[in-house]
Amino acid sequence: MDLKKTEAAIEAILFTMGESVEVDKIAKAVEQDSETTKKIIHNMMDRYQTEERGIQIIELENAFQMCTKKDMYEYLIRIAKQPKKMVLTDVALETLSIIAYKQPITKMEIEKIRGVKSDHAVNKLIEYNLVKELGRLDAPGRPLLFGTTEEFLRNFGVHSLEDLPTVNPVQLEDFKAEAEEEIQLKLNI
């Protein structure tokens, strides 16, 4: 298959699937090896960025997805009703952060870190498709394990979990000191 036809096939696959597609599956469909397929897709991504197009291809871990460029959002709103925008409360955002950095993690571990029940926050994150069940822990009671989804990566603009920002060690020590001080104040009351 020549390059133009291969690119057209990749474009058709990504457009039709709507969701992200693993590079190995794309490679098999276009009868290329994974590395060559990845290079072709990266070239397509570069071209989409420079050609003033309304679509783009994004990379999510070892998969690719075709989607609308962010700066085209206002035009979509004119056609469709205002899309339902998910709003993350501080509690949900805190819970999501814990899951993102500690996954796979049980609800009990989340609650131990937060110090309060987290059922509602976890359920809301699952509803928003930012978090999913990853299986069960091999421990008494077989508690559910939770982790983030591809939707999380898409919404937060990261390609993989390795791209999550790291916490500054000095800032981490400050957080620990604040928490210990807060606990001490509560114990003294």
Q: Are residues 26 and 98 in the same domain?
A: no
In a domain, 78, yes or no: no
Q: Model's pTM, two decimal places?
A: 0.58
What pLDDT, in 10s, does the model give residues 93-150? 999 999 999 999 999 999 988 889 999 999 999 999 999 999 998 888 899 999 999 9
Q: Are residues 64 and 93 in the same domain?
A: no
Q: How confident is the model at residue 178 (pLDDT cuts 50, 70, 90)?
A: confident
Alpha helices for 80-164 (secondary structure H): 90-102, 107-114, 119-127, 150-156
HSE-up (13 A, CA, CB side) for residue 165: 6
Residues 43, 48: Cα–Cα separation, whole Å = 9
Beta bridge partners of 136: 144
- Residues 4-22 have a mean pLDDT of 92
What pLDDT, in 10s, does the model give residues 38-85? 999 999 999 998 888 899 999 998 899 999 988 888 888 877 765 566
Of 46, 72, 98, the domain-final residue: 72
Q: Are residues 45 and 130 in the same domain?
A: no
Per the structure, how many domains does the chain have? 2
In a domain, 176, yes or no: yes
Q: Are residues 52 and 121 in the same domain?
A: no
- Containing domain of residue 43, as a range? 1-72
Q: Are residues 98 and 163 in the same domain?
A: yes
Q: Are residues 145 and 58 in the same domain?
A: no
Alpha helices for 18-142 (secondary structure H): 23-29, 34-50, 73-79, 90-102, 107-114, 119-127
Of 13, 46, 72, the domain-final residue: 72
* CATH code for position 120: 1.10.10.10
In a domain, 77, yes or no: no
Q: Are residues 55 and 109 in the same domain?
A: no
Q: Are residues 169 and 100 in the same domain?
A: yes
Residues in CB range of 86: below 8 A, 6 or more apart: 128
In a domain, 81, yes or no: no
Q: Are residues 92 and 182 in the same domain?
A: yes
Q: Are residues 151 and 107 in the same domain?
A: yes
Q: Are residues 36 and 92 in the same domain?
A: no
- Residues 158-169 have a mean pLDDT of 82
In a domain, 139, yes or no: yes
In a domain, 82, yes or no: no
Q: Are residues 182 and 92 in the same domain?
A: yes
